[in-house]
Amino acid sequence: MSDIVQESPTTSFTPGGRRRHRKARQSGVGMRRALVLALAVPVTSAALAGPSAFAVDKGVGTTAKDTSGPDADDQQMAANLETRVLDQRLGSDVSGVVIDADSGDALWDHNSATALMPASNVKLATSTAALTVLGPDHRFTTKVVYGGGTLTLVGGGDRTLTTADLDELASSAVAGLKAAGLKAVKVAVDDSLFPEPTLANGWNTGYYPDSVAPVRALVVDGHGVQDTSLDAGQVFAQRLAAAGVTVDGTVTRATAKRTDFPVARHRSAPLSDIVHTMLKTSDNNIAETLLRMTALGAGRPATFEGGTQIVREVLSRRYGVSLDHFEMYDGSGLSRADRIPAATLADILELLTKPRNARVLGSILEGLPVSGEAGSTLGPEWGRFDDANSKCAVGKVHATTGTLTGAVALSGLTQGKDGNWKVFSFVENNSTANPNDIKDAMDGLAATVNGCWA
């Protein structure tokens, strides 16, 4: 089988602290370059100053920092991890780190600077860049225009477009056609917002179309087909016909003209909602579409290369995340060439614990699957947190998953036994154990951080 990414009550965490992995802020020329990028993204100081949505929802404020070093619970947790990371199910290529979210101190570190294949944990980087460049309130627009006897459905990068949305667009278009005395039209699709789909470095054709569809700017109902644009156009044509308009010929691909008359448009849910959905279900197609829209939002080509370049710039220049040994070639983590250290994944997650980032990045935090949450990648249907050692952590771990052949990752946040929030990242590569057994071992590590498996 080809490599495939598979992918409750909650409590709030208290933001805070410094971070020992993050590189120092730039000055001089470097800072000026960072400011240029900052001007290109819709983030204001007022927005960044808002409190964590997680904390506000639960009425939890900031706790005082403990500068006395790891307490007895943290020391025991670290000692347990030292033993449990040697679990034969995890193999020998395993890395991990646990950070105190308040102090920013590393409580445990095991080869965290080693760059391993992170699988879907890449989506943390994709989400961070998309929300920063486009803004959490950004919406994607799908349009219908008319010209020369043709209705053209114009894709705007909305990977969440549904048949119901196309039905609304068709209804508006039909009303306009009837008002103009027109009873028949041709139908075309315009997906020129993105270039012709290509394979990312580290992808193979076996991914299409089940693990990911060729990345186009137009799709309906998340259909996993080779040409999502023509498929969406055909659904649109069917809705027109159902409303009494004759569709001449077959649906074709065309580029809308500037002189075409706007007929209807549909705006997606806010980006924050889309990111939330993407992370809960580890949706590869949404991730790849967001990578391209992020590139366009920053004035770059809508390609793998354009998108990943912006991700790097946002992480490094905007947030000061170290990119040592960081290699990213797609937005979903399907690429077998991707390499990200556990320390870097923890850096990205720690951004979520800072109140200044809550307005922009809050949907990442709230989109993290929760251990035992049905419908998410940590749900019981995936066999997560269901063995004797990890059941105690059900409802207590917020983490993103990652699974490829030869790679399993789990990165997120949980409260420790002392009640303080911990950021963690665990990544393993090349274990020969059964993938479900590897995931059980990973869940056990998270339960150890939580302290319920003492």
Band of residue 90 on the pLDDT scale cut at 50, 70, 90: very high
DSSP 452: S
Under 8 Å between Cβ of 218 and 230: no
The pLDDT tens digits of the residues spanning 429-440 come to 999 999 999 999
Chain mean pLDDT for the chain: 88
Q: What is the pLDDT of residue 153?
A: 98
Same fold, 29-134+273-450 and 141-268: no
Q: Distance of CA 179 to CAs 97, 153, 452, Å? A: 64, 20, 67
The pLDDT tens digits of the residues spanning 305-364 come to 999 999 999 999 999 999 999 999 999 999 999 999 999 999 999 999 999 999 999 999
The pLDDT tens digits of the residues spanning 2-26 come to 334 444 333 333 333 334 445 433 3
Which residue is it, tokens 């789909």? 197
Q: What is the pLDDT of residue 67?
A: 54
Nearest to 280 by CA among 361, 207, 379, 409: 379
Domain boundaries in the chain? 29-134+273-450, 141-268
Q: What percent of the chain has pLDDT over 70?
A: 85
Domain 29-134+273-450, CATH homologous superfamily name and number: DD-peptidase/beta-lactamase superfamily (3.40.710.10)
The pLDDT tens digits of the residues spanning 376-396 come to 999 999 999 999 999 999 999
Question: What CATH number labels 141-268?
Answer: 3.50.80.20
Reading phi first (left if > 0) and then psi (alpha if -120 to 50, else beta), residue 408 is in beta
Band of residue 46 on the pLDDT scale cut at 50, 70, 90: very low
CA dihedral (279, 280, 282, 287) in degrees, to 10, reads -40
Nearest to 274 by CA among 349, 335, 347, 331: 331
Q: What percent of the chain has pLDDT over 90?
A: 83
Q: In whole angstroms, give the CA distance from residue 276 to residue 223.
A: 20
Q: Is residue 63 scored above 90 in pLDDT?
A: no
Nearest to 365 by CA among 38, 5, 2, 11: 11
Nearest to 288 by CA among 245, 343, 224, 358: 224
Under 8 Å between Cβ of 318 and 132: yes
Q: Is residue 420 scored above 80 in pLDDT?
A: yes
Residues 6+ apart with CB under 8 A from 437: 89
Which residue is it, tokens 């309130």? 137
Q: In whole angstroms, give the CA distance from residue 412 to residue 401.
A: 9
Q: What DSSP letter does each residue of 1-60 carry, written as one string?
A: -------------------SSSPPPP-THHHHHHHHHHHTS---HHHHTSPPHHHHHHT-
Q: Distance of CA 448 to CAs 60, 75, 81, 133, 417, Å? A: 24, 12, 7, 36, 9
How do strand 397-404 and strand 407-415 relate by DSSP bridges? antiparallel
This prediction's pTM: 0.87
Q: What is the pLDDT of residue 111?
A: 97
Nearest to 252 by CA among 372, 365, 131, 150: 150
Q: In whole angstroms, give the CA distance from residue 305 to residue 310.
A: 9
For residue 187, the SS3 value is: strand
Q: What is the pLDDT of residue 68?
A: 62
The pLDDT tens digits of the residues spanning 209-251 come to 989 999 999 999 999 999 999 999 999 999 999 999 999 999 9
